[in-house]
Chain A
Amino acid sequence: AQSVTQLDSQVPVFEEAPVELRCNYSSSVSVYLFWYVQYPNQGLQLLLKYLSGSTLVKGINGFEAEFNKSQTSFHLRKPSVHISDTAEYFCAVSEGAQKLVFGQGTRLTINP
């Protein structure tokens, strides 16, 4: 079975600073990887996904992620964060079409 580890439960950063949210997955076979965002009191919204091809994936709201097969990582980055990026971020790996395996979540807090 797959597993996903998000290495930081909370990440505080200042507005306009860069941020990296770290994610490692367990599988050594081909995987589909996702980052979802959950804004306060809202559902889950897809930020970006890696299916194949280029290892650098661009998503919505200026986020990007880099797939690193040798390190089994899929870290999420943004060069300059805004107050509106305050949310919880979830990394997930597909386990077939029927299931996503999620990490524990990283709470991103942006300080002015």
Chain B
Amino acid sequence: EAQVTQNPRYLITVTGKKLTVTCSQNMNHEYMSWYRQDPGLGLRQIYYSMNVEVTDKGDVPEGYKVSRKEKRNFPLILESPSPNQTSLYFCASSRSAGGTYEQYFGPGTRLTVT
């Protein structure tokens, strides 16, 4: 089954404790992205990657890091989480060729930083 997976689905942590949210896709997509969803703001892009070792900032990159060492994986790293990073996070992937630009989303990770 074609899918994007994320782990963990739920995470409660404390301010300053480094964490990583994993994302993996099995569709051989070139593009991968991270979004955060906040009430009244919709989804906003944090970072994206066009292929292995190629990443760039989205609209709200402060406080986040990413890496793309393999095509299928795109982890999101919060090196020193703060309460304003409490949010619902989605990973997404899309193809570059044949361009419908449709993005396929993972199930989401709900992060609470206390």
- On whether the beta carbons of A34 and B102 are closer than 8 Å, the reply is yes
Q: Which residues on A are within 8 Å of B, measured CB to CB?
A: 4, 6, 9, 32, 34, 36, 42-46, 49, 51, 90, 92, 94, 96-100, 102-105
Cβ-neighbour of B42 out of A34, A90, A97 (below 8 A): A90
Kindly list chain B residues whose C-beta atoms are within 8 Å of the C-beta of A32.
100-101
- On whether the beta carbons of B99 and A97 are closer than 8 Å, the reply is yes
Cβ-neighbour of A9 out of B40, B44, B105 (below 8 A): B40
- On whether the beta carbons of B101 and A102 are closer than 8 Å, the reply is no
Kindly list chain A residues whose C-beta atoms are within 8 Å of the C-beta of B108.
42-43
Interface centre among A45, A94, A99 (most CB of B within 10 A): A99
How many chain B residues sit at the interface, stated as a range, is 20 to 34
Total CB contacts across the A-B interface at under 8 A:
59
- On whether the beta carbons of B90 and A44 are closer than 8 Å, the reply is yes
Kindly list chain A residues whose C-beta atoms are within 8 Å of the C-beta of B67.
none
- Interface residue B20 (Cβ < 8 Å from any Cβ of A): no
Kindly list chain A residues whose C-beta atoms are within 8 Å of the C-beta of B45.
99-100
Interface string of B84-95 (1 = CB under 8 A from A): 000000101011
Interface residues of B in 37-64 (CB under 8 A from A): 40-45, 48, 50, 56, 58
Kindly list chain B residues whose C-beta atoms are within 8 Å of the C-beta of A98.
31, 33, 48, 50, 56, 94
